[in-house]
């Protein structure tokens, strides 16, 4: 960090920020197998949410919550912003619970659990895993009672595993879409727990063996078929020909990658788009020779295609929600609760729709149980409700329209009033009568009338209460722009609103910083030192912000370093002694 800090004024850039700062953190392993902790900072500048990489911290120990908290605290102290941090956004891995608790001890001004945000994109992905659990044998549902079906599933899984190596056509995953191994383990444990809860829920009749088999076979066949197609240039080309023959737009199959968000949803959606072409492809003679790929083994039945058509809308809800919540540099925290509510409504409709396949209704039930678990966890943090209330189009009205219990609405009001009073409400300024001698000469008879007038003004001049009592502002589409204008007008509530509405709803930005790291430490530059990688990533991030770094000083620094290297090389050469034979 010392090299970076000598070359950048990014520190002073955020040190001078008038409000609170927010951070995101996540772990990443570079192509040259160096573990980093990516940390980004988020705030509002010129009416826009901005983010930048604080550091790629080299991790030299296991990623325990205690260790991560210590390294992040060290980073914050380097920038001298440890007392300005409010929001902390990260995924749902268990070590982040410890991290938040420990960081609040190391940095006492950090509010800890009450301003923690669980990455909403990760929550949505976890809910999708719950949807798909009835279609997998890696759950509490266990193996089928039909040995023939189990044998077929074993064969399909073996084929998929055998063809999972990408060979010369290896598919690179975007780092911001990929899920870390430790997070996967935590996710799998969550899904297992929800499976057990769903079995005891009683809202739906238990799944029959037939329903289970149809669900599992449809997904297993489709995954393996996609792998076979993606791995073969010949089959891919033939699929395009099949698209033309059946009169549909030419498309390519996509693989289902377990470590990638929304991968299964993308696979099913693409398969449905190419359904007619795939039906022709799998029965072609050249792809069904005894020692060939034998694609007919993965031919989906009419019932299996029907199940996919019913499952696709359920998954599409989450694909759309994930894309919406993963946008960068726009206020999104206020949308978390409404999205939770909309998804709940959609899931209830799916569960109660008796025309849907039983397997899909059970998938929706598991999804709802997972959603309820994480919806309840939003109560641990004050930020969601405060952001909602400070949005001009919501205020307290949203909770009423959503038919929240009155006690919940009262709690939300109490939370925002406490935060306003403790941290943002302007302190009363007593009148200094000594500065104006005329006040002391004013008769008590006259002063009592005007003093009472001042009391009336003071009693109503509470910006938060005025805000809560006023109607919603339906024309305010961008809450940050609205409150930026209010801040310029010196509205006392503006600073609090800008602080809360700028908290990231997901850790997408820090995950995208890993993409920057992947480009910096590519397979062709794998020997780049970790210090060089850190400097390149951090400086590249800050360079996107106007006047955040002194480019002339940095270029001069690089030029001086190059000249020192050349001088050293000349010195080394001059010391060489040539001995004649």
**Using an 8 Å Cβ cutoff, are 223 and 298 in contact?**
no
Reading across the β-sheet that carries 48-58, which strands appear in turn?
Answer: 48-58, 35-45, 21-29, 85-90, 116-118
> Measured over all CA atoms, what is the biggest interatomic distance in the chain, rounded to whole angstroms?
116
Burial class (CB in 10 A: 0-12, 13-18, 19+), 77: middle
Amino acid 231: pLDDT: 93
Residue with token string 């088999």: 213
pTM of the model: 0.81
Most confident of 140-144, 175-179, 259-263, 338-342: 338-342
Condensed to tens digits (0 to 9), the pLDDT of residues 458-503 reads 444 699 999 999 999 999 999 999 999 999 999 999 999 999 999 9
User: Taking 90 as the threshold, does the pLDDT of residue 571 lie above it?
Assistant: no
E strand map for 437-527: none
Question: Which 8-state DSSP code applies to residue 472?
Answer: P
**Using an 8 Å Cβ cutoff, are 346 and 318 in contact?**
no
Condensed to tens digits (0 to 9), the pLDDT of residues 323-376 reads 888 887 787 899 999 999 999 999 999 999 999 999 999 999 999 999 999 999
- 3-class secondary-structure state, position 578: coil
* Tokens representing residue 229 in the block: 């197609």
User: Taking 60 as the threshold, does the pLDDT of residue 278 lie above it?
Assistant: yes
Residue 137 binned pLDDT confidence (cut-offs 50, 70, 90): low
Q: Which of 520, 514, 516, 515 is nearest to 533 (CA)?
A: 520
**Using an 8 Å Cβ cutoff, are 483 and 498 in contact?**
yes
Condensed to tens digits (0 to 9), the pLDDT of residues 64-91 reads 999 999 999 999 999 999 999 999 999 9
Q: Which of 305, 163, 319, 310 is nearest to 226 (CA)?
A: 163
Question: Which 8-state DSSP code applies to residue 560?
Answer: H
Amino acid 509: pLDDT: 76
The angle, 0 to 180 degrees and rounded to 10, between the axes of the packed helices 302-325 and 336-352 is 170
Domain 2-119+507-568 adopts which CATH fold? Nucleotidyltransferase; domain 5 (3.30.420)
How many percent of the chain have pLDDT more than 90? Answer: 50
CA 74, chain centre distance (Å): 24
**Using an 8 Å Cβ cutoff, are 226 and 274 in contact?**
no
Buried b (16+ CB within 10 A) or exposed e, 496-507: bbbbbbbbbbbb
**Using an 8 Å Cβ cutoff, are 210 and 217 in contact?**
no
Other C-beta atoms closer than 10 Å to the C-beta of 283 total 11
Domain residue ranges in the chain: 2-119+507-568, 123-380, 383-494
Amino acid 138: pLDDT: 52
Amino acid 456: pLDDT: 44
Q: Cα-flanking dihedrals φ and ψ of residue 332, to 5°?
A: -135, -15
More confident residue, 444 or 24: 24
Average pLDDT value over all residues in the chain: 82
DSSP string, 53-81: EEEEEEP-S---HHHHHHHHHHHHHHHT-
CA gap 14, 50 in Å, rounded: 11
* Tokens representing residue 341 in the block: 């509510």
Q: Cα-flanking dihedrals φ and ψ of residue 188, to 5°?
A: -60, -40
**Using an 8 Å Cβ cutoff, are 106 and 98 in contact?**
no
- Please compute, for residue 264, the number of CA atoms within 13 A of its CA located in the half-sphere on the CB side: 24
User: Taking 80 as the threshold, does the pLDDT of residue 148 lie above it?
Assistant: no
**Using an 8 Å Cβ cutoff, are 24 and 507 in contact?**
yes
Amino acid 397: pLDDT: 96
The answer for residues whose C-beta is within 8 angstroms of residue 45's C-beta and 6 or more apart is 17, 545
DSSP string, 118-156: E-HHHHHHHHHHHHHGGG-SSSTT-S-S-HHHHHHHHHH
């Amino acid at each position: 960090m010392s090299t970076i800090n000598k070359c950048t004024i990014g520190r002073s850039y955020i040190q001078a920020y008038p409000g609170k700062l927010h951070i995101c953190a996540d772990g990443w392993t570079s192509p040259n197998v160096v573990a980093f902790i990516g940390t980004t900072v988020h705030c509002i500048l010129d009416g826009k949410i901005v983010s930048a990489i604080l550091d790629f911290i080299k991790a030299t120990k296991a990623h325990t919550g205690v260790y991560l908290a210590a390294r992040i605290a060290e980073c914050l102290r380097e920038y001298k912003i440890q007392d300005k941090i409010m929001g902390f956004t990260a995924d749902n891995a268990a070590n982040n619970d410890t991290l938040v608790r420990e960081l609040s001890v190391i940095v006492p001004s950090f509010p800890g659990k009450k301003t923690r945000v669980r990455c909403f994109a990760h929550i949505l992905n976890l809910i999708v895993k719950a949807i798909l659990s009835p279609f997998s044998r890696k759950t509490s549902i266990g193996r089928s009672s039909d040995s023939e079906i189990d044998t077929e599933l074993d064969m399909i899984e073996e084929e998929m595993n055998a063809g999972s190596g990408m060979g010369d056509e290896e598919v690179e995953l975007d780092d911001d879409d990929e899920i870390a191994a430790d997070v996967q383990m935590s996710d799998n444990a969550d899904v297992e727990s929800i499976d057990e809860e769903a079995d005891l829920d009683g809202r739906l009749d238990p799944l029959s063996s037939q329903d289970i088999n149809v669900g599992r076979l449809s997904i297993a066949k489709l995954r393996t078929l996609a792998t076979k197609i993606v791995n073969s240039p010949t089959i891919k080309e033939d699929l395009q020909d099949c698209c033309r023959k059946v009169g549909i737009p030419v498309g390519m199959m996509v693989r289902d990658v377990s470590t990638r968000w929304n991968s299964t949803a993308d696979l099913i959606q693409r398969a449905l788009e190419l359904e007619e072409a795939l039906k022709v492809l799998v029965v072609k003679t050249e792809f069904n020779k005894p020692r060939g790929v034998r694609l007919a083994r993965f031919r989906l039945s009419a019932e299996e295609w029907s199940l996919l058509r019913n499952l696709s809308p359920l998954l599409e809800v989450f694909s759309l929600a994930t894309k919406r919540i993963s946008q960068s540099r726009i206020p999104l925290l206020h949308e978390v609760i409404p999205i939770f509510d909309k998804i709940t409504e959609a899931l209830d409709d799916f569960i109660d729709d008796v025309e849907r396949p039983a397997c899909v209704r059970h998938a929706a039930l598991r999804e709802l149980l997972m959603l309820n678990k994480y919806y309840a966890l939003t109560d641990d943090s004050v930020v969601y409700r405060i952001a909602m209330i400070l949005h001009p189009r919501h205020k307290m009205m949203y909770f009423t329209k959503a038919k929240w219990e009155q006690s919940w609405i009262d709690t939300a009001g109490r939370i925002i009033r406490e935060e306003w009073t403790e941290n943002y409400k302007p302190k009363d300024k007593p009148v200094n009568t000594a500065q104006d001698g005329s006040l002391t000469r004013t008769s008590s008879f006259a002063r009592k009338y005007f003093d009472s007038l001042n009391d009336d003004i003071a009693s109503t001049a509470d910006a938060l209460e005025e805000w809560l009592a006023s109607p919603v502002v339906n024309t305010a589409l961008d809450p940050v722009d609205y409150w930026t204008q209010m801040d310029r007008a010196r509205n006392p509530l503006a600073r609090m609103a800008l602080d809360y509405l700028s908290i990231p709803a997901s850790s997408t930005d820090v995950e995208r910083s890993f993409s920057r790291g992947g480009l910096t430490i590519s397979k062709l530059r794998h020997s780049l030192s970790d210090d060089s990688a850190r400097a390149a990533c951090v400086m590249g991030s800050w360079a996107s912000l106007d006047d955040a770094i002194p480019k002339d000083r940095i270029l001069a620094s690089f030029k001086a370093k190059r000249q020192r290297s050349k001088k050293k090389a000349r010195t080394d050469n001059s010391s060489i002694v040539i001995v004649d034979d």
